[in-house]
Amino acid sequence: MPANRDAIRIYYDKNTKLFLAFNRTRQAENIHRALWMDGVRSHGEAMNASNELIRAEIETTASAYVRIADLGCGVGASLFHILPRLQNPQPAFGLTLSPVQARLAQQFARGTNLDKHILFIEADFTCTPLAGGAFDAVYSVEAVVHTAEPQNYFREASRLLRPGGKLILIDDYRANRLLSHNENRWLKAYMQGWHVPGVITVEQANQFAKASHLRMTKNQNLTPSLRLRRLPDALAQTLLFIGERLPLRHPILPSMLGSMALQQCLHAGTIEYRMLVFVRE
């Protein structure tokens, strides 16, 4: 396994249970971000807001019997929310690099009586074992940023989709402008701490998509719906300086530093949290 993929696997193998402990609600086993959109009244609803955005996009596909796959599925929370709410769902797939996540996802599937309807696979989403042209929709939430070769992700997603099928992405995208020295420092800290070498601009994503016969139909900025927890810059800089020099080796420390850096990036507009939708031509 290439070094970056091995690092991602280790990162999630070691941190997933901690992420769940921080984010768990009665409604969701999500390890992605809450969106406080119009009409959202509780933390559980906020955690599932991105799932509802994805479900709404899937429901507009032309197929009467929808086949879907979650590429970078975590512990399966999005699939557990989306699949039972589709009108005519077919068996679905979830892919993750982490064996810990795959095992937890299968365990949670049994607990929700969805184990006969969702198959979780430990696999690389840039080169999957799934049949080409078999899906009406594939999606990823906060996952594409983890690959050092995002163009290969778009190529594989295109291969999996039938003509007219949808690719739905919710993720971080870098601002398409020159960054200041301070902005670059925080961006680097975020990318290193969270193992996200694939943070690209929307324009780059669209170029990769076009090369793989995918046409963009939606570009929605979700950043205003996040509740940011930005620290004063001087305090954040001090914590980063100290954190980078601590001798601790557990990957939760760089993850925490990466989280802090992401808040600084989102507040400065260096990073935007967006939903992109593409159609397979």
Give the strand pairing for 68-71 and 92-96: parallel
Chain position carrying tokens 């594409």: 144
Residue type present at position 42:
S
> At CA 215, angle to CA 82 and CA 91, rounded to 5?
30
Confidence of residue 5 (pLDDT cuts 50, 70, 90): confident
Q: Measure the CA–CA gap between 180 and 188, rounded to whole angstroms.
A: 12
Q: Are strands 118-122 and 135-141 parallel, antiparallel or unpaired?
A: unpaired
Instruction: Burial-class residue 111 by CB neighbours within 10 Å (0-12, 13-18, 19+).
Output: exposed
Are the C-beta atoms of residues 271 and 194 closer than 8 Å to each other?
Answer: no
pLDDT band at 106 (very low <50, low <70, confident <90, very high): very high
Give 189-217 pLDDT, tens digit per residue: 999 989 999 999 999 999 999 999 999 99
Residue 13 lies in a domain: yes
Q: Is 252 part of a structural domain of the chain?
A: no
Question: In terms of residue numbers, what domain contains 125?
Answer: 3-175+195-227+271-280
Give me the pLDDT at residue 249, please: 61
Q: Tell whether 183 is covered by a domain.
A: no
**CATH number for the domain that contains residue 16:** 3.40.50.150
- Is residue 144 included in any domain, yes or no? yes
| Residue 80: inside a domain | yes
Q: How many structural domains comprise the chain? A: 1
Query: Identity (one letter) of the amino acid at 197?
Result: P
Query: Is 214:167 a contact under the CB 8 Å cutoff?
Result: yes
203-258 pLDDT per residue, tens: 999 999 999 999 999 999 999 999 998 777 777 777 777 777 776 666 677 888 89
In a domain? residue 15: yes
- Residue 255, CA atoms < 13 Å, CB-side half-sphere: 15
Domain annotation covers residue 254: no
DSSP string, 6-41: HHHHHHHHHHHHHHHHHH--SS----S-----TT--
pLDDT at 242: 73
Judged by average pLDDT, the poorest of 60-64, 128-132, 270-274 is 60-64
Domain assignment present for 79 = yes
Closest by CA to 230, choosing from 186, 188, 192, 177, is 186
- Is the model's pLDDT at 159 over the cut of 70? yes
b/e map 214-237, b = 16+ CB within 10 Å:
beeeeeeebbebbeeeeeeeeebe
Q: What is the DSSP string of 122-187?
A: E--TTS-SSPTT-EEEEEEES-GGG-S-HHHHHHHHHHHEEEEEEEEEEEEEE-SSPPPHHHHHHH
Question: Tokens for 92?
Answer: 């679905």
